[in-house]
Amino acid sequence: MATFVDIQPTQQLDPIKGVKKMPLEEFFTSGHRTCQGCESALVMKLMAKAAGPRTVVLGSTGCMYVANTTYYSTSWVVPWMHTQLGSSGSAAMGAASGLKALMRKGKIKDEPINVIAFCGDGGGADMGLSAISAALTHPDYNLLILMYDNESYANTDIQLSGSTPYGAHTTFSPPGKMKRIMHHRWKKNMAGMLAAGHPTCKYIATVCMSYPLQAMNSVRKALSIGGPTFIHSLDPCPKGWDYDPMQSHEMGELAVTTGVWPLYEVEEGVIRLYGKTKEIAEGRYKRFPVRDYLLRQGRFAHFTDDDIDYFQSKVDQMWDKWLVPGVIPFLKEVETDHPPK
Amino acid sequence: MAQAVASLEQQADKTALITGSEAIAVACKLADVDVITAYPIRPYDTVMQYVAKLVANGELDCEYIVAESEHSQFEIVKHASAVGARVFCGSSGVGWMYAFEALTVTPGLRIPMVAMVGNRALDDPGAFGVEHNDALAVRDLGWQLVWVDNPQEALDTALIAYRVAEDRRVFLPCAISCDGAFLTHSQALVKIPSQEKVDAFLPPYNRGDLLLHPDNPITVAPQVNEDWLMEIRRQTAAAMERAYTVIREAYAEFEQIFGRRYGNPFFEEYQTEDAEIVLVGMGTLSTPVKVAIREMRKEGKKVGFVRVRWFRPFAAEELAKTLGRFSAVGIIDRDFSLGSPYLSGVLATEVRAAMYPAAKRPPMLDFICGLGGREVTLPDVKKMSDIVYHAAEGKPQPLTQWIGLRE
Amino acid sequence: MGRLFAVEIVYRGIFQKTLAKNISRAIVLAAHQEGKPGISFGRYGDSPERNGVPAKNFAIVATDDQTLEEGMAKYEPKEVDISIAVDDTLCKGVESWAWYGLQPINRLLKPGGTLIVTSREEPEALIEMCHRKEYPYQLAIVKGIPSFSGLWVYKEDHSDVRILGAIAKVLPELFSLESVQKAIRAEWKDELKATSAARSYERITTVTVPPNQGNPEEPFKFELPKWSEMREGVTIPAIPRGHAMENTATQQVGGWQPERNPTFKKFSTRTMRPVVDFDTCIKCTLCWLQCPDSCFDVTPDGLYDANMQACCGCGVCEAVCPVQKCVTMVNETQFRDNDSQWEMWNKDKEGYKKWLLEKIEHGPGPQRSHGFRYRGQYEEQVPEMLEIAREG
């Protein structure tokens, strides 16, 4: 295959050695309309900071479009363009292929330019899944698709998405008199699914901005390695999850330390767990009970102990039964599933 | 310039036997298109088959991407165009409809995309044959829409479309409609101009201060509230207004460089000079209509034909002036607009609207004909002409009639 | 022609959305008890609300249907009988969108109209925050901690009914205490809430704010461009790149200051602001790094100065700061300007320390609640709120 694929050089973005070595300049800055304590806005800021000035960013419909850019005003320093809800994959392909053609044909200066398309969980895990999947099968375009996952359509009044956790209260899944749990689907395993399904994709990672250094270095690796890449970021959302904005950072840490959100990267097909997740997998760190995470959020306030136990059992299964713990949900034998009545 | 043109005229065109789809593929090569996206659906997909061959044989240097859906197809080229690439895309029938969201946002972003629509009936039922409703569905959205009726015109119009769409005064997408089968799948002799002529006619695409590139830091299409939207719509409206002038300029210079004359760019008139009544239509039904007219004229019936080329922008005043010359007008719609005024087709509804302010308003009838690729026969044309004659003589006629229908 | 009543409820986005809706609905239902027709609606442009960003809800009531129609004919009322600020820091003004400018909280108030504010502050403090008006208006304070709670768990601290009771007092023509109590019983089936409304009705006092008293500043505003002046393709220039900072005292140049959005200041998006103890700062970078609003300017001496043009008061910086009381969130009511703390510290370190300690005392502490922290927390807070209510 390689002989038919002509790959352009990428920018070589070296890992940032520590928070003290962090570049000072911002490329996504203030003046947006996002909520107090919006972790997704933090993702935008640190993603742009990691990528640097020679970058084009394409943003799918969602909070990071509506709240960030209020016409005739913006928060972006680097070029930014809106793309349709399900089009992050197509947008990245379009910009990357356009730049590539123009450079090859000598119509513009030949230089590596980062192309990043972002989408929320609605735009990525739901509507945009096929376009993202297609983009990841094109080894000849250098692009990064970053999915900021705040676990609901938070921009349209918080409706459930394929990425909303089991049982969560949303405007489309309100706990009622007859049904306590309206949303009984389990969260899609986006990064795992994409890594397993796109063998030629060189880099797929999960991140959380409560661990900014690793997250930013993930972005840098994704932009340097060549070809299409994907990063899935879990973003605590004070608005949709219903918690005090001051606790955004802590909420992200809890998602990881309870084992609900595993941190890993799949580089050239090689899986590597990192941070607390690695310690959990190696038994060097005892997972916090999910109760500590769930009951800090209003969206789970209606949970009974049975619901919490069930949630815990599913997370335990991730770590104790999955073929690749936390990543690939294949089991060695059939498990029975008993959600609470 | 004049001298350059003179020397260009010496260059002989190559002649090739190709379909309308192939002719547009050749135009893409001559226009040195940078990014092309394909997705299969009959009948337009033939153009992408030819493009693929050109790319495989190294005759066309472009990024050729087979997308995973029409929606992605159009979103990919939209963003490629935003970073300054010349792009080509296309679809048919429900495929075009699947891309509808992407089609909707393209004009407002002022993306000069050129697309081919291989006109096809909309599902259900699935039918490959021609109907114009697919392309017409975007008529209110800022797309320039043009109908051609032979492979030569397809090639020429594709070059003109790039010239017009990429003019900074316009920067609006343009869809070239080719009737399924009649144009997409049948071959004719086509003159293929030299690269030098095309280069003289078609300047490079320059996106200027709308270019999405680190050297031109901009934010494109942020969310607006009610304080802004009217102003943005007004800007797009102004661009469509300017397209009239730019289209005229383009055809004038086309004739100068390529030596082929299209007369009025917006609509073609056939034997209208002395005509008593006229038929009006779009696309390849022009052939049976012209032949039938020649036969009818032998019988002393002075029938003319007006073929609408540019549906958007619509040359309302000119067309009204022209049609006002005749004692009655029959519009042939290869489309329908269910529940529309007088239950007629889209073209008839638009022509009536165009006629309203006119000083002379002859009786106007609409004929729904040739749907789903059904042949428009010579007897059909004669029948329609007779009906129009009756109207001219003041005999009341139903405003809309279905022709060639089993009943 | 009958009489038209208009009431606006100004609230801080999502965490006060239910509160504002409850008040707005109950106003219409209470007036309906007296046969008056009315409508209740949120300003559509504000949704989806962001927490912190000011938003508005309106209740329009009339003595008859035709008069109501005159009220409904306007997208939103041009003048109101009552403005309600369910969070006292909104007295500094309302800036909901870029290009919107800063709109005084009392902008829509009719002469003699009443501004009702939920606050623990004294009238003087609130009047100082509100922009001047050329004619007198009334100020009524519903004593209490501004109520914040997310969409899923509502904080039943009776803020809603206490404001309703206050309305019955300051504008009896709109509805009587009896009517509003009927409406409350019908809506909430909670006698205690009806009692809270009555208590608020008895306790509420209003002060007259004479003309030209209050914040003398001219609120900033912007001129919207004509269609022909806007760049085409829905395209606008990006924010320019930032620049190094200069210490005017020492001429030391360094650090980084991002360019700030010129048309969206966000001064009015805060309920708290961080105050920084530059003497104890260990320059760990965390406040700066973790700020979702890029609000910290990096000073030439490597300190982090929260820029009030960008801070929306989320408090993440305090949460991540490893040093005790180095970054402390302080109630926004304690400030009258948006000046740089770092510059103040540079000019006079001793003075700054004094200022800092005095501010920190006020902390957000009891004056602030910022939403859900754990299940059961609201229930724990309610008694305290009701106690404040009793004290009046």
Backbone angles phi, psi at C94, to 5 degrees: -125, 120
Which amino acid would we find at residue B29?
K
Q: In the 8-state DSSP scheme, what is residue C150?
A: -
pLDDT in tens, C238-263: 999 999 999 988 999 999 999 999 99
**Domain chopping of chain A, boundaries:** 20-331
User: Do B146 and B281 sit in the same domain of this protein?
Assistant: no
Full set of structural domains in chain C with CATH? 4-222 (3.40.920.10), 230-262+272-362 (3.30.70)
User: Do B352 and B252 sit in the same domain of this protein?
Assistant: no
Confirm whether B407 is domain-assigned.
Answer: no
pLDDT at residue B1 above 50?
no
Percentage of residues of chain C with pLDDT beyond 90: 88
Inter-residue contact A47 to A55 (CB < 8 Å):
no
User: Do B249 and B290 sit in the same domain of this protein?
Assistant: no
pLDDT attached to residue A177: 95
Contacts of A78 in chain B (CB under 8 A): 214, 217
User: What does R_g of chain A's alpha carbons equal in angstroms?
Assistant: 20
Domain ranges, residue B49 = 2-258
pLDDT at residue C75 above 90?
no
pLDDT attached to residue A5: 76
Give CA C239 to chain center in angstroms.
Answer: 27
Inter-residue contact A327 to A196 (CB < 8 Å):
no
Inter-residue contact A10 to A223 (CB < 8 Å):
yes
Q: In the 8-state DSSP scheme, what is residue A126?
A: I
Concatenated DSSP letters for B183-214?
A: TTS-EEEEEE--HHHHHHH-PPP--GGG--BT
- The arithmetic mean of pLDDT across residues A296-314, rounded, is 97
Task: For residue B132, give the nearest of B335, B366, B347, B297 by alpha carbon.
Answer: B335
Q: 3-state class of C364 per DSSP?
A: coil
Contacts of A238 in chain C (CB under 8 A): 51, 150, 314, 371
Q: Do A98 and B81 touch (CB under 8 A)?
A: yes
CB pairs under 8 A between B and C: 55
Give the Cα separation of A205 and A215 in Å (integer).
Answer: 9
Contacts of C228 in chain B (CB under 8 A): 235
Q: Which residue has the tokens 């109520």?
A: C147
Nearest to B227 among C99, C232, C236 (CB): C99
pLDDT attached to residue B5: 55
- The confidence band for A1, taking pLDDT boundaries of 50, 70 and 90, is very low
- The arithmetic mean of pLDDT across residues B341-366, rounded, is 97
- The arithmetic mean of pLDDT across residues B331-352, rounded, is 98
Report ipTM for this prediction.
0.95
Chains with at least 3 CB pairs less than 8 angstroms from chain C: A, B
Q: 3-state class of B392 per DSSP?
A: helix
pLDDT in tens, C328-375: 999 999 999 999 999 999 999 999 999 999 999 876 665 566 889 999
Helix (H) / strand (E) containing C391: helix C377-391
Task: For residue C116, give the nearest of C161, C181, C79, C166 by alpha carbon.
Answer: C166
Q: Do B213 and A79 touch (CB under 8 A)?
A: yes
- The confidence band for B182, taking pLDDT boundaries of 50, 70 and 90, is confident
- C292 in contact with A at a CB cutoff of 8 Å? yes
pLDDT in tens, C296-338: 999 999 999 999 999 999 999 999 999 999 999 999 999 999 9
Contacts of A25 in chain C (CB under 8 A): 241-242, 256, 258
Inter-residue contact C386 to C196 (CB < 8 Å):
yes
Concatenated DSSP letters for A18-43?
A: -GGG-----SB-S---PPTT-HHHHH
- The arithmetic mean of pLDDT across residues A274-280, rounded, is 97
Which token pair is A116?
């990043």
Q: What is the mean pLDDT of chain C?
A: 94
pLDDT in tens, C180-230: 999 999 999 999 999 999 999 999 999 999 998 999 999 999 999 999 999
Q: Do B225 and A73 touch (CB under 8 A)?
A: no
pLDDT in tens, B197-231: 999 999 999 999 999 999 999 999 999 988 999 99
Inter-residue contact B285 to B370 (CB < 8 Å):
yes
Q: Collect all residues with Cβ–Cβ distance below 8 Å to B10 and sequence separation of at least 6.
A: none
CATH number at residue B84: 3.40.50.970
Percentage of residues of chain A with pLDDT beyond 90: 92
pLDDT attached to residue B266: 98
Give the Cα separation of C174 and B208 in Å (integer).
Answer: 59
- The arithmetic mean of pLDDT across residues A154-167, rounded, is 96
Interface test with C, best of B235, B236, B241, B242 (most C CBs within 10 A): B235
- B110 in contact with C at a CB cutoff of 8 Å? yes
Decide: residue B390, CB within 10 A, 0-12 exposed, 13-18 middle, 19+ buried. middle
Q: Do B220 and C233 touch (CB under 8 A)?
A: yes
User: Do B253 and B282 sit in the same domain of this protein?
Assistant: no
Inter-residue contact C244 to C254 (CB < 8 Å):
yes
User: Do B108 and B162 sit in the same domain of this protein?
Assistant: yes
Inter-residue contact B130 to B370 (CB < 8 Å):
yes
Per-residue 3-state assignment (H helix, E strand, C coil) for B31-64: CCCCEEEECCCCCCHHHHHHHHHHHHCCCCCCEE
Confirm whether B209 is domain-assigned.
Answer: yes
Q: Do C227 and B231 touch (CB under 8 A)?
A: yes
Task: For residue A149, give the nearest of A81, A225, A206, A98 by alpha carbon.
Answer: A206
- The confidence band for B68, taking pLDDT boundaries of 50, 70 and 90, is very high
- Residue after which a domain boundary falls, among B209, B240, B258: B258
Q: What is the mean pLDDT of chain A?
A: 95
- C286 in contact with A at a CB cutoff of 8 Å? yes
pLDDT at residue B300 above 70?
yes
pLDDT in tens, C133-145: 999 999 999 999 9
Beta-strand ranges (E) seen in B248-294 are 267-270, 277-281
Confirm whether B245 is domain-assigned.
Answer: yes
Task: For residue C222, give the nearest of C108, C100, C309, C310 by alpha carbon.
Answer: C100
User: Do B233 and B299 sit in the same domain of this protein?
Assistant: no
Give the Cα separation of C57 and C47 in Å (integer).
Answer: 11
User: Do B34 and B182 sit in the same domain of this protein?
Assistant: yes
Q: Do B83 and A95 touch (CB under 8 A)?
A: yes
pLDDT attached to residue B271: 98
Which amino acid would we find at residue B82?
A
Confirm whether B159 is domain-assigned.
Answer: yes
pLDDT attached to residue A66: 86
Helix (H) / strand (E) containing A102: helix A88-104
Q: In the 8-state DSSP scheme, what is residue C230?
A: S
pLDDT at residue A338 above 90?
no
- Residue after which a domain boundary falls, among B199, B223, B258: B258
Q: Collect all residues with Cβ–Cβ distance below 8 Å to B91 and sequence separation of at least 6.
A: B39, B41, B44, B70, B73, B74, B98, B99, B115, B117, B118, B134
User: Do B239 and B286 sit in the same domain of this protein?
Assistant: no
CATH number at residue B366: 3.40.50.920
Give the Cα separation of B127 and B132 in Å (integer).
Answer: 13
Give the Cα separation of A253 and A64 in Å (integer).
Answer: 22
Instruction: Centre a 10 Å sphere on the Cβ of residue B135 and count the other Cβ atoms it contains.
Output: 31
Please identify among residues 184-223 of chain A the ones whose CB lies closer than 8 Å to any CB of chain B: none
Q: Number of structural domains, chain B?
A: 2
Inter-residue contact C41 to C95 (CB < 8 Å):
no
Backbone angles phi, psi at C6, to 5 degrees: -130, 130
pLDDT attached to residue B295: 98
pLDDT at residue B9 above 70?
no
Task: For residue A192, give the nearest of A264, A256, A274, A282 by alpha carbon.
Answer: A264
User: Do B78 and B52 sit in the same domain of this protein?
Assistant: yes
User: Do B246 and B305 sit in the same domain of this protein?
Assistant: no
Nearest CA in chain A to B211: A79
- For the domain spanning A20-331, the CATH number is 3.40.50.970
Confirm whether B385 is domain-assigned.
Answer: yes
Give the C-alpha distances (Å, rounded to integers) separating C234 from A56, A71, B101, B230.
17, 8, 17, 12
Give the C-alpha distances (Å, rounded to integers) separating C245 from B66, B133, C297, C301, C335.
50, 61, 8, 10, 24
Contacts of B234 in chain C (CB under 8 A): 227
Give the Cα separation of B96 and B407 in Å (integer).
Answer: 32
User: Do B226 and B365 sit in the same domain of this protein?
Assistant: no
pLDDT in tens, A58-68: 999 999 998 87
- pTM, two decimals, is 0.96
- The arithmetic mean of pLDDT across residues A81-97, rounded, is 98
User: What does R_g of chain C's alpha carbons equal in angstroms?
Assistant: 22
Inter-residue contact C144 to C157 (CB < 8 Å):
yes
Strands C235-237 and B218-220: antiparallel
Contacts of C45 in chain A (CB under 8 A): none
Min distance B63 CA to chain A CA atoms (Å)? 6
Direct distance between the N- and C-terminal alpha carbons of chain A, in angstroms, rounded to an integer: 52
pLDDT in tens, C149-170: 999 999 999 999 999 999 999 9
Give CB contacts under 8 A, 24+ apart, made by B292-299. B292/B378, B292/B381, B292/B382, B292/B385, B293/B381, B295/B378, B295/B382, B296/B382, B296/B385, B297/B271
Q: Collect all residues with Cβ–Cβ distance below 8 Å to A50 and sequence separation of at least 6.
A: A13, A16, A216, A217, A219, A220, A223
